[in-house]
């Protein structure tokens, strides 16, 4: 499933690696980072992951980024890069 992680970065030196290639080095094989969108000042980021569940990603990221960011998560639809919630599509048809 696709999971979006939203990061409010509190310690940029700890959160952001010096080399972008290091972003995926600590990632376990059951998780895959697809995209990282960093705010221009580094205080926020939004990342798109593939994970077994929101909780599986939360367990890894909350531990990995402890003291460096406050994170929130949600499962996401990602069909052809552009999607609206399924519940919204149902309401529009009614």
Hey, which CATH number is domain 2-93, 3.30.70, 2.60.120, 3.40.50, 3.10.20?
3.30.70
Contacts of 38 (CB under 8 A, 6+ apart): 16, 44, 45
pTM (global) more than 0.85: no
**What are the sequence ranges of the domains in the chain?**
2-93
The pLDDT tens digits of the residues spanning 35-81 come to 999 999 999 999 999 999 999 999 999 999 999 999 999 999 876 66
Whole-angstrom CA distances from 44 to 15, 16, 53 are 10, 11, 23
């Amino acid at each position: 499933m696709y999971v979006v992680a939203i990061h409010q970065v509190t310690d940029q030196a700890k959160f952001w690696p010096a080399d972008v290639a290091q972003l995926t080095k600590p990632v376990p094989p059951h998780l895959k980072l697809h995209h990282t969108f960093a705010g221009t000042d580094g205080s926020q980021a939004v990342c798109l992951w593939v994970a077994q569940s929101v909780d599986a990603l939360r367990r890894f990221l909350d531990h990995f980024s402890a003291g460096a960011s406050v994170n929130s998560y949600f499962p996401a639809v990602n069909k052809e890069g552009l999607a609206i919630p399924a519940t919204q599509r149902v309401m529009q048809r009614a």
